[in-house]
Amino acid sequence: MTDGTDLSGSTASGDSLRRIYDVLLLDLDGTVYRGAEPVPGAREALAAGDDTVLYVTNNASRRPSEVALHLRELGFPADDSSVVTSSQSAARLLAERFPAGAPVLVVGTEALAEEVAGVGLTPVRSADAHPVAVVQGHSPDTGWAILAEATLAVRAGALWVATNVDSTLPTERGLVLGNGSMVAAVRNATGATPQLRCSRTRSVAAVPVVPSSSVTGWTPTSRAPTPSVRILSSC
């Protein structure tokens, strides 16, 4: 716990945590679900869910609406406004750094590209477009060609932003390659280090607690202490 609170050995339920904290920011991959399967006990813990729960994910592969639909299909209470993704956070960071219309090389899904376009920047897929930045998020379709474009752009001086650096991704079949493994390929080819942008926003809550399944799965972007709980049962 970053605030000195000790919950080791605790069996605190979602309800008991709500009595202590203003809001719960729930990590998703490996904490709430693994791919198409819910983590055992997660639905029961959130059965009395209310507006003090916000789902956050550093997996930038899907739109918030798609994540919310997936949660509902698995039996979790969720709507589009209760989901925050790292693609949204990364897009805001880029919008703060660059003027409207600036080209940004997207290494990731169309969901990430849409967030970039939504803040007034121009998503591109080639280093020949002279992008001012590269934003890299998880996509099951990432391959050599787009990683080569990212390498060229980063070596040419583009700002490099990664939505997460988790080396693995929990699924119902086990751990598979995560965005961090693809980030490592570009890092190895360029010698550069990306700026990390995860899915916490300052407007979310005053005193949150963040349950997460991994050490790298949740990295606050501000320096304010944020109480967090590691979910050991999902590792």
Q: CB of 61 within 8 A of CB of 111?
A: yes
Antiparallel, parallel or unpaired: β 168-171 and 174-177? antiparallel
DSSP structural state of residue 184: H
Active site includes 166? Answer: no
Active site includes 128? Answer: no
Q: How far is CA 131 from CA 44, 78, 159, 165, 217, in A?
A: 46, 36, 9, 22, 28
* Identified catalytic residue from 6, 15, 22, 27: 27
* Identified catalytic residue from 29, 79, 141, 166: 29
How many C-beta atoms surround the C-beta of residue 1 within 10 A? 14
**Vertex 214: Cα angle to 209 and 220 (nearest 5):** 50
- 149: Cα within 13 Å, side-chain hemisphere: 22
Return the active site residues: 27, 29
